Each structure stands twice: as structure tokens, then as C-alpha cells.
Amino acid sequence: MSHNYLKNVIKRIVLDDTYEIIDFQIVNFTWQSEEIIIFTRSFFQLLTNLHLIETIDGADRHSLRFSYQNNEFILNIECICESIWIDAYATSHKDIFSILFQEIKSQLLQDLP
């Protein structure tokens, strides 16, 4: 279920080297709390090598800090801007960020651009 759900809502992912973010282009997403919960659960169920550290819920932004290969990142879900992206929690090595992007892409979006 996780894989199919994510494939239905993620149209494309893009690695932005300039800002060091992984940007998710989202479709068919209501931006309601219930859907955000489903998205985050599905994301972490499918990518089992990510380790959730903490969840920070705000009025308009939900952030999930996680570790990947001894580096920390944040999955941000912004309801007002209707955007989802990952950025580094602190400084990260560009090569690890690129590896994370490839891991996500290979696990989630095998047949998307």
C-alpha cells in the first residue's frame, strides 16, 4: 500500500544542488492532517533505512527530522505553500545528499521522471 499511495501523490522529485533540497512535486493531495499522517507513515515504511528522530508539528508546517548514513535531514510538509521537501538539518555532505536522493528515487519513483 505504501508504494502505491506514494506513487499516486508524488508526480516527480528533483534534487536542487543550489539550495541542497530534495523537492517533491505533489498531486492528488488534500493537505489535511490525515493525509499528512498517511504520507509520512508511507514514506518511512517504504524507506526503512531512514530513522525518525523527532516530529515537529506546527500550525502550517510539519517537520520530521531523520537520520540517514549518520547525517540528519528534515522532511518538511508546508500546507500553505502546498510543498514537500527534504533539507539538511545542519551541514551535510553533498555526496550523502545525492545518495539520499537516489535512494528515494529508486525506492519510490522507479517509473517517474
> Cell 498517511 identifies what position?
38
CA distance 29 to 63: 17
pTM reported for the whole predicted model: 0.90
Per-residue pLDDT of the chain (113 residues; tens, 9 = 90+): 567 889 899 999 999 888 889 999 999 999 999 999 999 999 998 888 899 999 999 989 999 999 998 899 999 999 999 999 999 887 667 788 899 999 998 887 665 54
For the chain, domains (ranges, CATH) are 2-108 (3.30.160)
What pLDDT, on a 0 to 100 scale, did the predictor assign at position 1?
Answer: 52
